[in-house]
Amino acid sequence: MLPAFGQQRDAEQKPQCAIFTIQDFSTGSANKDYERPITASVSAAFEVGGYGIISPEKWGGEVQRRGLSPRALLSEAPALSVGQAVGADLAVTGYFTVEEDRIYISLQCWDVGAGVLAAGLQQTARFNIAFYSSLHDRVADMLPQIRLMQSTAQTASGAAPGKAQPSVSELTFVSPDEGMELFLVNDERIGAISNGKLVWNSGGIVLGSAFNVEKRKQGFHTSRQTVRAAKEIRLSGMVREEKRALEVDWTLGQLLGAGATLRVYTRPDETFLFIGNYFFLQPALNAAGNLVIHYDTSLGVGAYVFLPPDSPVRFGVSTGAGSVVSILTGPSNASYAEVYLDVFNWWVETRILGPIIFLRQEWKFTTGGGSSILGKQWMMVAGTIPPMTLGVMFRW
């Protein structure tokens, strides 16, 4: 039984949808055969939702007549042009990549009449038999958004369906990264930044429509950016790949102190080994007491999680081990050492203010070994919270 939208179309022509093959972008050709069932799952969701599906033979003939490659259809202008030629109200493009048991899929649904992106989908999921059902449901969930977008676009433009909005052919990308190469999502090269800009003749893109570009430059992290079509598009700066970093920090509960940690990256700005040093003084508690000198050394491994190097905010985790050597000044001149496990640290950092500033929480557990006086216990500030470290990081 069709949903209400489909039933309302019984007495009139269904809106037509051209669903171009959802393309495999995986390394190698082992996953090429999944293009057909994934495309079929997307088509089924639109068909159940009340759309008429334009046959692959019809739109495929138009693609062949224009001499377009399959990947060219991932670009907005060719997709809209072919969709308009075959009488589509909606054109759907997309691609997927498979890595081990995970799949990433990206879909774009273009309103052909208005020349705008009506909806998009990006999903990462386990690649098993349940994926097809999940994909079908995700696409079905987009349909109300697509209809609303189509209605809004027509109302805002004051145009009848099928009348295209203003477009721009010559786009100028502006970037501080001289020599950076720019690509579309289908790996089509746009060009390279020269003297701070790149002029691209797109063939016609609707003003204000969103599309993705990929930025590449030797010695910098590859990144993607979503931009909107305009005569001038400003690109954000790229992040250089760095192999080392130095943290300068201060820890809550160790007020009279300062530390420095050296990172050596095994993967630039992603995973690293570290060696840390922290020197601090513990004042005498009373007039009869003596100053205590502490020296904390540690080493371990760390990694960033969730967000890429060019993100303004990043998160990371680390683990390791260390020791704190303490010397009591005064007549006793005693010393002792606490060996600890740096069980779990997490931190958040930001580059919004310019330099990289971070805040780290450290869960350290003393082993009771060596000349320990603490035994086995968590190292806490005032016996209640784990140490918190604030610092700034320099990369090179």
Listed residue (228, 38, 222) closest to 139, CA to CA: 38
Listed residue (201, 146, 158) closest to 19, CA to CA: 146
Q: Rounded to two decimals, what is the model's pTM?
A: 0.58
Listed residue (90, 70, 69, 104) closest to 14, CA to CA: 90
Above 70 in pLDDT, residue 176?
Answer: yes
Helix (H, G, I), strand (E, B) or coil at 332: coil
Q: What would the pLDDT profile of 190-239 be if each residue is shown by its tens digit?
A: 999 999 999 998 766 667 777 788 999 999 999 988 888 899 999 999 99
Above 50 in pLDDT, residue 1?
Answer: no
Q: Is 254 or 203 the better-scoring residue by pLDDT? A: 254
Q: What would the pLDDT profile of 312-350 be if each residue is shown by its tens digit?
A: 999 999 999 999 999 888 776 788 899 999 999 999 999
- Look at residue 282 in the predicted model and tell me its pLDDT: 84
| Average pLDDT score over residue span 287-310 | 88
Above 80 in pLDDT, residue 356?
Answer: yes
- Which amino acid, 184? L
Q: Is 190 or 185 the better-scoring residue by pLDDT? A: 190
- Look at residue 329 in the predicted model and tell me its pLDDT: 83
- Look at residue 11 in the predicted model and tell me its pLDDT: 37
- Look at residue 40 in the predicted model and tell me its pLDDT: 95
Nearest-angstrom CA–CA distance, 273 and 258: 20
**Cα separations (Å) of 82 from 43, 63, 89, 115, 159?**
18, 7, 11, 12, 21
